[in-house]
Amino acid sequence: MNILSLLLAGGRWRCFPVPLGSSLFQSLHNSCYRKKSTAPKKIIPHVDFSDENAKESGKALDKLFSSEQQASILHVLNTASNKELEAFTLLRGKKSLSIVDHREKFGPFQNLESLMNVPLFQYKTTIQVCNSILNPETGGKKRKLQENRLLRKLIKPEIGRERLKAINSIVSIVSGTRRIAWAHLDRQLAVLDWQQTEYCRLMKGTYLSSAYLEEISSVVSKMPKADFYVLEKTGPSFQNSSLFPILLHFHIMEAMLYALLNTTFTRDGRHQVLSMNRNAVGKHFELMIGDTRTSGKEVVKQLLSESVLKEEPRVFFPPDKIVRYRQMFSSTEQYRVEELYDSLLQAIAFYELAVFNTES
């Protein structure tokens, strides 16, 4: 019996008869109807190393930590709340939640090895977490790091904390487009001097360096001596081109004050002039509404009243000067003299945020 077979010849398929017993038929049959091989497959055994690794890791953890240390770590893991666990740097976020969830589902941790059953915890992670529990950065070291970060955001350039602790008095300076004001306070927050002066030439005509030098030199000559001079760090956005003259004015003022007040910088390279973040002062006195800062007039008015009415006021105005300061405030209250108010508030904020917060 023959069957028809197809062969490709000259680019076309052609049919021709093929005998059943022929070798060609057998090869075609095998290629079209290939039987599944009955030969046994080569099986690669699956080796689970988890138990072996866990045992070895557990033994390693036992060698790394003494029995007393293990007991201390397990006490924290089994008793601390989620918030308490987050106090440790390496247990913030999902790790602390995973520990609490595992504890609720499976009960307290019996040994350090069981910590590796918690999601996100591998051998190295477990060691790091155990070390962080034994040596937490929740004390002095962590506090210092936080203080340093806050100081970097608060004042520029950076200065050592030991210099801040040694401050006896500062002059806080705030300049605007028409006037400049300063407040001289000692570390008891006693107001030793507080005044303002106007400069009319600087925003008129061209920006002559000589005019700035003459005006600012005259102002600086009236300022009292202090350990540090603190300037307000502010300025309009570069995106608003119409404010460029004002921005330029602020930068020139800041540069002039840095040069004229840093009298010893050329000798010792130590800064006596610092720039303080304006918004940080506003937040300290709750004057910020979104990104906008409101007037500090009412806060200053309250400070003046407390100095007379309270036995221990926040700010102390010497009796021989309180009358003059109150009169000065009353005479300027109807005008917008934010520089005068801000110079006083900036001095208070500098002591409370940068000096007193770093004392041990």
Q: Where does the pLDDT of residue 7 fall: very low under 50, low under 70, confident under 90, or very high at 90 and above?
A: very low
Q: What is the mean pLDDT of residues 42-67?
A: 56
Q: Where does the pLDDT of residue 315 fall: very low under 50, low under 70, confident under 90, or very high at 90 and above?
A: very high
SS (H, E, C) the chain: CEEEEEEEECCEEEEEEEECCCHHHHHHHHHHCCCCCCCCCCCCCCCCCHHHHHHHHHHHHHHHCCHHHHHHHHHHHHHCCHHHHHCCHHHCCHHHHHHHHHHHHHCCCCCHHHHHHCCCCCHHHHHHHHHHHHCCCCCHHHHHHHHHHHHHHHEECCCCHHHHHCCCEEEEEEECCCEEEEEEEECCCEEEEEEEEECCCCCCCCCCHHHHHHHHHHHHHHCCCCCEEEEEECCCCCCCHHHHHHHHHHHHHHHHHHHHHCCCHHHHCCCCEEEEEHHHHHHHCCCEECCEECCCHHHHHHHHHHHHHCCCCCCECCHHHHHHHHHHHHHHCCCCCHHHHHHHHHHHHHHHHHHHHHCC
Task: Using alpha carbons, select from 85, 98, 94, 97 the residue that is nearest to residue 132.
Answer: 85
The CA distance from 328 to 304, in Å, is 11
Q: Where does the pLDDT of residue 34 fall: very low under 50, low under 70, confident under 90, or very high at 90 and above?
A: very low
Q: In this predicted structure, which of 44-53, 67-76, 268-277 has the lowest mean pLDDT?
A: 44-53
**128 or 12: which carries more pLDDT confidence?**
128
Q: What is the mean pLDDT of residues 26-40?
A: 47
- Give the CA dihedral 339, 344, 346, 352, nearest 10 degrees: -170
What type of residue is 66? S
Q: What is the pLDDT of residue 57?
A: 56
What type of residue is 57? S
**33 or 221: which carries more pLDDT confidence?**
221
Q: For the chain, give the mean pLDDT.
A: 80
pLDDT at 190 over 90: yes
pLDDT for 63-103, tens place per residue?
788 888 889 999 999 999 988 888 887 887 788 889 999 99
Q: Under a CB-based contact definition with an 8 Å cutoff, are residues 20 and 29 in contact?
A: no
Q: CB neighbours of 148 closer than 8 A, spacing ≥ 6?
A: 161
pLDDT at 334 over 60: yes
Statement: 62-137 belongs to CATH 1.10.150.280: yes
pLDDT for 133-143, tens place per residue?
888 764 445 55
Q: Under a CB-based contact definition with an 8 Å cutoff, are residues 154 and 356 in contact?
A: no
pLDDT at 278 over 70: yes
Q: What is the pLDDT of residue 210?
A: 84
Identical fold between 62-137 and 151-355: no
**317 or 41: which carries more pLDDT confidence?**
317
Q: What is the pLDDT of residue 137?
A: 61
The CA distance from 194 to 328, in Å, is 10
Q: Which fold has domain 151-355?
A: Nucleotidyltransferase; domain 5 (3.30.420)
Q: What is the pLDDT of residue 125?
A: 84
Q: What is the mean pLDDT of residues 226-236?
A: 86
pLDDT for 283-292, tens place per residue?
999 999 988 8
pLDDT at 14 over 60: no
User: Structure pTM?
Assistant: 0.60
Q: Please report, for the chain, the start and end positions of each structural domain, with discontinuous segments joined by +.
A: 62-137, 151-355
